[in-house]
Copies of this chain bind each other. A is one copy, B any other.
Amino acid sequence: MAPVQNARLIYKSVPEGYPIPGQTTVYDTNDSIDLENAPLNGGFLAKTLILSIDPFLRGKMRKPEKKSYSAEFKIGEPLYSYGVARVLRSATPEVKVGQYITGNFISFSEYAICPPTVLPSLTVVDKRPDLELRTYVGAAGMPGQTAYSGWKEHADPKPNDVVFVTTGAGPVGSLVIQLAKQAGCKVIASAGSEDKVAFMKSIGADVAFNYKTTDTREVLQKEGPIDIYWDHVGGEILDAVIEFSAENARLILCGSISGYNTGGAAPIKNLSMAVGKCLHLHGILVFRIFHKHAKAFWEEIPPKLASGEIKFREEVTKGLDKAGDVILAVQKGTNTGKAIVVVAEE
């Protein structure tokens, strides 16, 4: 069989601010691949079906000298992220042809030869008939797992605790809201549009507001003090929460998007208050803690997603050529619902 086109989204340059399509990322159709004969080198050939577009991708678009928990993207190579791929050929017994696999190495290309080094981070998708494959990168995937394991690990909720969730309409935040409501907490949630505010209310938030038109400090002062905070933004909002937190509050630090495209989040002026309030701040990464909560997650969450007991929103974009735009939208927060790019149907 003749080689076929292998379109790719290439990481072209380190962005200064937002990642601009055509500049930071470039869609390229010049490559091709021989699907029958391309050497596997002990790995496997995967066809990319679904790509998850998450805020953390911005952290991988950095200069190599800047260290972080996750490797930086290499200039000139395709991006990669969480996603779902179908195995077309395999030279390793751990992966079988026809399987759907997921992990944080799915290439932003139509096809990819995956080396055996990805095997430790690979999961075979045990797809339920009543959930879409794409949901395994969203509510049943990394974002859902982040919310679940971070909450179980550190929230320690009591009935009537006051919980504040930022980016509450996103795939992590929206599950945190619902877990907090299940636990009998009062939930305050913020997001950046009226549509998102309506969604947060629909999934149970007691107080939902648009942080662009309502002052977060005023809401916290009125509705707080805060017992549990789920932080996706860092900077001034985190500083305000420290000020308006209750004694013994748990602050779960999951991201700081306020700084991702601006050279860093605003410095924190109030951290010395953590002493007198006995605050507990916990940074979390899903891949460090999920294993402790995986069994409970798989037993509880996918059935509730399928039955509608837990609600989620997805914003599906078709075509790898659009992935650069979706990456930018996620950084700007203009997407509504978990951002997913469908590269191929099957």
Q: What 0/1 readout, one digit per residue, does chain A (276-294) give for beta carbons within 8 Å of chain B?
A: 1111111111001100000
User: What residues on B are CB-neighbors of A264 within 8 Å?
Assistant: 269, 272
Q: Given A248-B288, A267-B267, are A256 and B283 neighbors across the interface (CB < 8 Å)? A: no
Let me know if A3 is at the binding interface, CB within 8 A.
no
Task: Determine whether the beta carbon of A272 is less than 8 Å from that of B285.
Answer: no
A238 to B267 Cα, complex, angstroms: 13
Let me know if A259 is at the binding interface, CB within 8 A.
yes
A256 to B273 Cα, complex, angstroms: 9
Copies of this chain, tallied across the complex: 2
A275 to B283 Cα, complex, angstroms: 4
Q: What 0/1 readout, one digit per residue, does chain A (210-245) give for beta carbons within 8 Å of chain B?
A: 000000000000000000000000100010000000
User: What residues on B are CB-neighbors of A70 within 8 Å?
Assistant: 276
Further 16 A-B residue pairs, CB within 8 A, beyond A268-B269, A280-B283: A69-B276, A247-B288, A256-B272, A259-B272, A265-B272, A267-B268, A268-B271, A273-B283, A274-B281, A275-B285, A276-B283, A277-B283, A278-B283, A278-B284, A278-B289, A280-B280
A residues sitting closer than 8 Å to B (CB atoms) are: 59, 68-70, 234, 238, 247-248, 253-256, 259, 264-265, 267-269, 271-285, 288-289
